[in-house]
Structure 1
Amino acid sequence: MTPSAPTLAFVESPVQLLNVLEWAYARATPAGPPPLDGIPPQRARSGPAPGEGPGPAAPVRIVVLPPTDPMSRGQLRRMAALARDEGHDVRWQEARGSRLAPLRALAALARDVRAARTIVVGDPFSRYVQLLLTLVRAEELVVVDDGTATMEFVAQTARGERLVRWHRAGGGGLPGRVRELAYAPVSATARRRFTPGSAADGGARRVEVFTSMPVVPHGATTLRANDFAWTRARFGPPRLTRGTDLVGTSLVETGVVDPGRYLEAVRALTAEHGATRYFAHRRESAEKLRTLGRETGLEIVRPDLPLELIARRGPVGRTILSFPSTVVHTLPYALAGTGVTVAVCDVDPSWLTGSASPRARSFLAGVSDTARDVRRLPARTASTAG
């Protein structure tokens, strides 16, 4: 039987796995206390100076709980290979796809979860991760970035609210309410785990948030800045093309933005800025991407790794356009010192669907407003697509 690991990480997406690697790398680097205002440094260096880099990161046992969609699974397998190259122990654990899969996975992981001294999670909103947290006895709990969702997680835990993804509008009728009621004890236990306290009282003795998002930790929660030092040390700098790249988003797939309005916005950005390539989000549908390519003339690129690594390896455009999303916060770190400009186009309120959550408008505006080292596109760019 494989001995239990002192540090155990659970990831469900390629970006979460990337950020576990970044966390392990940062943990191996002697660092001072986090910034007093809770906000990561504005600029990152282009890479460690000679002889300045950290020693080998302590190995982490990383449990991959893969989703069912092929694009995510493919990227996760590529990221798992990179993690193994770094000396980490990666375990692929199916927890979806059948009614019994979650229970089998829980039974297979229970021993390791109880024995780990440090637990690292990539998605605190995940119901499966929350279920695993009911078994946790660790002295330390770490939340690594899951993109802009980290902003909402920190805000909700600070207010003592239940953990709900920002784009969820509720609903589901009576069956949905019954499921929520039955799940409430698990969700409440997870919230307690994310509150610093003693291991004896069922909480985590220390709670750390490892993030590149502009968040302020609450209470005794520790903040560690993620400036993508591992990515910059391992890849690039990239060769720059003369073109402009556009980053796709899954806002249509999550029901937040109307498909027709999104197509109009992409068409307007392509024409105004001379974009030539469209880096698809792993959740974007094939039908939507075919329509975008046909209507705009953009070359549709399906990345096989998170965009931070794709951009750092290059080639990449001198300008990268994006709607409000994680990359407007992470790419300035990953591409620091390369000369690449990251620009963000706001989502016009008229693009939102009738089923979008009440939080959608303010949340997306906040993602853009708090982004640093990016160029804000003029409001007329958004209005031309509306």
Structure 2
Amino acid sequence: MSRRAGSAGTNGTNGTTTLAFVESPVQLLNVLEWAHTRGVGAGAGGASAGAGAPGAGGSGAEASGGKLTLVVLSPTDPMTRGQLRRMAELARQEGHEVRWEEARGGAAAPFQTIGGLAGMLRRAPRVVLGDPFSRYVQLLLTITRARDLVVVDDGTATMEFVAQLARGERLVRWHRKGGRPGPRDLLFAPVASSARRRLTPGEDRRVEIFSSMPMEETPAGVTVTSNTFAWTRTRFGPPRVTKGADMVGTSLVETGVVDADRYVAAVRTLARTHGAARYFAHRRESTEKLHRLAVETGLEIVRPDLPLELIARRGPIGRTILSFPSTVVHTLPLALAGTEVRVAVCDIDPSWLTQNASPRAQGFLSGVTGSARDVHRLAAVGVG
């Protein structure tokens, strides 16, 4: 394990261990992309060590070399756990160390997990995290003394995180914003505020955001680095492209944003209009909803065992990929660069939103679609 951060030359040397905390397969994928870009880890290309050492005048974006330990804060959802295990195996194949934590395995699990990680956190000069909104991650941020913090994409939530950080707002997920803070929110508020302060660059702390998402506002002093999915394109594909269309599922129903009946009707109309045959389910979609989709639309429901960027890159994949506003409208064009696959995104009609949807939901979803590059925009379909 590396020495504590603080002395020049510690960061970026071969003895340094970067700690990364992930809770989803996409976060883990984006840590692998970051490591590939930085030359971190045995399988990352052996970039030269020493750049960006503390006190050396370099930015966190220049830091390279060293080792990577991925800490998986495992959720309880079976689909997510399955994808995480597959991604963890890919990380090991790249030469990275993976530490699997049953972080939610009972009432005592969080205390045991945080206690077991405290020493590593205090020693690590660089920490990478995938979800700054996570209470688990926010708790861990109160322990770390790292001088380099890196936030990798956790999907479209990254866009909201960057905007909130730039405006000095409290960190709240976009689909919850607008509601009153609950008792747990108020109890956790001091920790969340501390996490936001630690994610703000300072004289002795550098913050990097590694993202494929568009950034309207960039917080002062934060380094933003583009994720081009170079590792994915190097490791997989190019895919075999079929003549038909595939559809990408979303968890907007499960998060209470979109009405289930409207969603099913929209999927049915899109599938019929574009000749889609397969529906790639989001890992958080409910079994009941997927069964209903299969019965009412005739689509073949596919439960991917890896993030869709890797599934699409491995192929076979349809010539057209249909999606609602989501992360993949930004990431798939990058992962599939150089292929003939077209990504088409269908807008969410305001009438599809539930009464409980955040007041910001429509504007946020429109922004996700409108800011996507290299996609074909479809008007919202009539669901009658």
Fold conserved between structures, TM > 0.5 = yes
Match of residue 185, structure 1, among 176, 190, 194: 190
TM-score by length of 2: 0.88
Change (3 A) 1:57 1:85: farther
Q: Give the percent of matched residue pairs that are identical in Structure 1 and Structure 2.
A: 69
Which residue of the partner structure matches residue 110 of structure 2? Answer: 102
Which residue of the partner structure matches residue 90 of structure 1? Answer: 98
Instruction: Give CA-to-partner distance per residue, 1:104-149, whole Å, 9 cap, x none.
Output: 1010000011110000000000001000000111110000000100
1:92 Cα offset (Å)? 0.3
Match of residue 23, structure 1, among 27, 34, 37: 34
Equivalent-residue separation in structure 2 for 1:383 and 1:293 (angstroms):
19
Which residue of the partner structure matches residue 351 of structure 2? Answer: 350
- Listed as ranges, the matches of 1:1-386 within 5 Å are 6-28=17-39, 58-169=66-177, 177-199=182-204, 205-215=205-215, 216-377=217-378, 379=379, 382-386=380-384
Equivalent-residue separation in structure 1 for 2:375 and 2:78 (angstroms):
32
Equivalent-residue separation in structure 1 for 2:170 and 2:327 (angstroms):
23
Q: Is contact 2:151-2:208 (8 Å) kept?
A: yes
Structure 1: any 5+ residue segments left out of the alignment? Answer: 32-55, 200-204
Q: Is contact 1:321-1:343 (8 Å) kept?
A: yes
Equivalent-residue separation in structure 2 for 1:58 and 1:331 (angstroms):
30
Equivalent-residue separation in structure 1 for 2:282 and 2:210 (angstroms):
23
1:198 Cα offset (Å)? 3.4
Q: Is contact 2:74-2:102 (8 Å) kept?
A: yes
Equivalent-residue separation in structure 1 for 2:113 and 2:179 (angstroms):
29
Equivalent-residue separation in structure 2 for 1:59 and 1:20 (angstroms):
13
1:358 Cα offset (Å)? 0.7
TM-score by length of 1: 0.88
Question: Higher RCO, 1 or 2 (CA under 8 Å, sep at least 6)?
Answer: 1
Structure 2: any 5+ residue segments left out of the alignment? Answer: 4-15, 40-44, 49-63
Alignment coverage as a number of residue pairs:
352
Q: Is contact 1:25-1:57 (8 Å) kept?
A: no
1:58 Cα offset (Å)? 4.0
Equivalent-residue separation in structure 2 for 1:91 and 1:366 (angstroms):
36
1:243 Cα offset (Å)? 1.1
1:180 Cα offset (Å)? 2.0
Query: Helix, strand or coil: the match of 1:343?
Result: strand
Instruction: Give CA-to-partner distance per residue, 1:164-205, whole Å, 9 cap, x none.
Output: 000015658xxx633222211101110011110134xxxxx1
- Structure 1 runs of 4+ aligned residues shifted over 6 Å read none
Equivalent-residue separation in structure 1 for 2:186 and 2:356 (angstroms):
23
Change (3 A) 1:57 1:335: farther
Equivalent-residue separation in structure 2 for 1:69 and 1:196 (angstroms):
34
Change (3 A) 1:238 1:347: same
Change (3 A) 1:206 1:169: closer
Change (3 A) 1:15 1:376: same
Instruction: Give CA-to-partner distance per residue, 1:335-382, whole Å, 9 cap, x none.
Output: 0001100010000000000000011010000000000000011x2xx2
Instruction: Give CA-to-partner distance per residue, 1:313-339, whole Å, 9 cap, x none.
Output: 000000000000000000000000011
Change (3 A) 1:331 1:159: same
Superposed CA RMSD: 2.0
Query: Helix, strand or coil: the match of 2:372?
Result: coil
